Amino acid sequence: MLDRFKGDKRLDPAAAGLTGKPRETLAVETAVAPLKDAPEPFGPLASTLLHREVFDVYETADGWCRGRAHESGYIGYVPAATLGPMPDAPSHVVTIPMTHTYGVPTIKAEPVGMLFLNSCVRVTGEEGAFLQLAGGLYIEHTHLAPIGEVATDFVAVAEMVRHAPYLWGGNTVQGLDCSGLVQMAMLRAGQVVLRDADMQEATIGAAVDADGPLMRGDLVFWRGHVGIMTGPETIIHATEYTLRVVEEDFPTMCARLTKIGLDVTSVKRP
């Protein structure tokens, strides 16, 4: 899948100036880590990496690691402080938009942290309604599923994050952009897809007639934008128009975008 993007600095190490083999392979230790095109604390996100995501490090300087994310293939800079040694293989994955982590196995305790949908963890024990993680923290057992147990409907996953705020480069309920919503939802259903809308349009599914009839799960693309059909005439997407994830009438949305010069470029059926 990545071969077709040879020469693209987002995905091709040679094009991005990464030469030789990675110096080391690390994993994200925080709940989420920013991936950026430049080592700038307040610069825009290119994407975000989840807890335990693996990152090949080619260069380290001034508190930033430059390299390539294993899962998405995306190349960029990650704060060195968010990365650590590779942990043991994960056993479970977070199945809801966000869950709390606790220092003790009771819902009355103050949470000590959080993890987001698709974050991987290693379960080492069980106490009451909680599963204990490697490192000693606890998560409510119904918020996790064994690795390999996936959602059957990626659209239902996207529907869980209605009203989440828009965030350029985001792919968690903390903030998402249009392609981040697609990537997040499809990953929970066991489908690893590329990060940006143009990449997704080029690699996901088979093209269908944009004039319909459309089905739940169809991906509709415009220049620089993508949405997920939730029914024949409804679509869910993360939009700059309202700065949140919304579900709306598809014909109405199309008319609004046509007024600003954006027409549907393709419809893909995963």
**Which DSSP state fits 13?**
T
Q: What is d(CA 54, CA 69) in angstroms, rounded to the nearest whole number?
A: 6
Q: What per-residue confidence (pLDDT) applies to 4?
A: 82
pLDDT at residue 249 greater than cutoff 90: yes
Is the domain 2-84 a CATH 3.40.50.150 member? no
pLDDT score of 212: 82
Q: Tell me, yes or no, if the two domains 2-84 and 154-269 fold the same way.
A: no
- Mind giving me the DSSP string for 142-173? GGEEETT---S-HHHHHHTTTTPBB-TT-EET
As a whole-number percent, the residues of the chain with pLDDT over 70 amount to 99
CA max distance for the chain: 57
What percent of the chain lies above the pLDDT cut of 90?
A: 96
Span 212-238, pLDDT tens digits: 899 999 999 999 999 999 999 999 999
According to CATH, the topology of domain 92-146 is SH3 type barrels. (2.30.30)
| H-only helix segments in 108-249 | 154-159, 178-188, 197-203
3 band by pLDDT with thresholds 50, 70 and 90: confident
Say which CATH superfamily domain 154-269 falls into.
endopeptidase domain like (from Nostoc punctiforme) (3.90.1720.10)
Name the band, by pLDDT with cuts 50, 70 and 90, for residue 86. Answer: very high
Please state, in angstroms and rounded to a whole number, the distance separating the CA atoms of residues 238 and 183.
Answer: 12
Tell me which DSSP letter residue 3 carries. Answer: G
pTM: 0.96
Question: Residue 2's pLDDT band (boundaries 50, 70, 90)?
Answer: low
| Residue extents of the structural domains in the chain | 2-84, 92-146, 154-269
